[in-house]
Amino acid sequence: MNRASRSLFSDWWWTTDRGAAVAVLLLIGIGLILAVAASPAASGGPRTAGNFHFAVKQVIFAAVAVAILFRTSLLSLDGVRKVAAVVYVLAIVGSLLTLFVGTETLGARRWLDFGFLTLQPSEFLKPAFAVLAAMILADVTPAPLPRPLMAFLLLVPALAVLAFQPDVGQSFLLILLCVALLFFAGLAVKWIWAIGGGTAGLAVIAYLVFPHVQRRVDQFLHPLDKGHQVNLSLNAFAKGGLLGVGPGAGTVKYRLPESNSDLIFAVAGEEFGIIVCGAIVILFGFLTVRLLLRAAKARETFVQLAMAGLATVLALQAFINMAVALSMIPAKGMTLPFISAGGSSLFAVALTMGLVLALGRQRPEDDVRDAFAASGGPRT
């Protein structure tokens, strides 16, 4: 921990965003606590003895995720670009493979079963696209097409494969990410509104084409019947109150589908109360605002856009998950970053955060450049 030390960890500690790193580790820690709380329900039932099998797996996944985060955060800017390109291609190929050899669940093919790990390749599209789109939008060299159009064309293959899976939620999350990047890049507001109108049109088409989307929207709009899962989730929050019923004492989780994954926030509400749920919200808010502020202070346009895009997709995913649990938006199967059980989500958000930390690291060459500029030399 000594500044004079030249060890790998010391260099990383004194050049990275320590506040953001600590916030992520706290969120992962909360996720492990909730994994222990939800594991008996996920592996058993109200009348069947559960075990901590899922909790043990989550501890292993968390260790791998921390390793991914640490190694990725050591990348150079050029390394970030290369990793994003490779991950995007692999995520597209993996998502295509799910259509042929993937595991089908509730009519959707999104997962590749490797035995110990069921991988969802589409989870990795988000961080990779954020970096690659930032590269395109930050490039000032002449191009045959407008940069915003090139960024959207990069998104088309991902949207096509997600439509066949189908995964409407991930598709709209990627579209929102693309719109946010275009906004950060300075695209005229009229075009942002036009894209927003087009996105709304796609939402109407999704409602008409996909029966599960229509069912969830209709349930959300119903004045009384919000659906079985959402009603159980709301009951969990009502039962937990301010301080919760205590670790392991919750009962709603035994009747709540995906209690250790998509609706883990409801488990937190029942067993730990509004206090812990509020702490989770504060941690995500702190992380988002901190990353956006650091992005605004970055010197390079690419770094600004990439950091802002990665921070935005983390914030959007967290908001969607918690809003669904609280019946603020229609139900959507989306994980809570760093907290929901499962390897795919945890590895993808670890990669996301690792890329953010790599982009925001204080590099020696930046200090030399600043010192040279302060002495009267040109800033490059």
Q: How many folded domains does the chain comprise? A: 1
Closest Cα partner for 213 from 163, 262, 253, 261? 163
Check residue 368 and give its pLDDT. 40
Check residue 379 and give its pLDDT. 47
The SS3 call for residue 108 is strand
What range defines the domain where residue 59 resides? 11-370
Residues pairing with 119 in the sheet = 112
375 assigned to some structural domain: no
Check residue 217 and give its pLDDT. 84
- Cα separation of 378 and 47, whole Å? 73
235 assigned to some structural domain: yes
Which 8-state DSSP code applies to residue 48? Answer: B
Q: Any residues with CB less than 8 A from the CB of 200 and at least 6 apart, and which?
A: none
Check residue 50 and give its pLDDT. 64
242 assigned to some structural domain: yes
Check residue 374 and give its pLDDT. 47
5 assigned to some structural domain: no
Check residue 348 and give its pLDDT. 94
- Cα separation of 155 and 174, whole Å? 8
Could you tell me if 352 and 310 are in contact, meaning their C-beta atoms sit under 8 angstroms apart?
yes
Label residues 197-235 b or e (16+ Cβ within 10 Å = b).
eeeeebeeebbeeeeebeebbebbeeeeebbebbebbbb
291 assigned to some structural domain: yes
3 assigned to some structural domain: no
29 assigned to some structural domain: yes
Check residue 380 and give its pLDDT. 44
Check residue 219 and give its pLDDT. 80
List the chain pLDDT tens, one digit each, 380 residues: 666 666 777 777 778 889 999 999 999 999 999 888 887 776 665 555 567 777 888 899 999 999 999 999 999 999 999 999 999 999 999 999 998 887 777 667 888 888 777 888 999 999 999 999 999 999 888 888 889 899 999 999 999 999 888 888 888 899 999 999 999 998 888 888 888 888 888 888 888 888 878 888 888 787 666 667 788 888 889 998 888 898 878 888 788 777 777 888 998 999 999 999 999 999 999 999 999 999 999 989 999 999 999 999 999 999 999 998 898 888 777 889 999 888 888 999 999 999 999 999 876 555 444 444 445 554 44
Label residues 56-78 b or e (16+ Cβ within 10 Å = b).
ebbeebbeebbebbbebbbbeee
Rounded to an integer, what is the distance from CA 134 to the centroid of its chain? 17
2 assigned to some structural domain: no
Burial of 301 (0-12, 13-18, 19+ CB in 10 A): middle
The SS3 call for residue 112 is strand
Closest Cα partner for 59 from 37, 38, 29, 21? 29
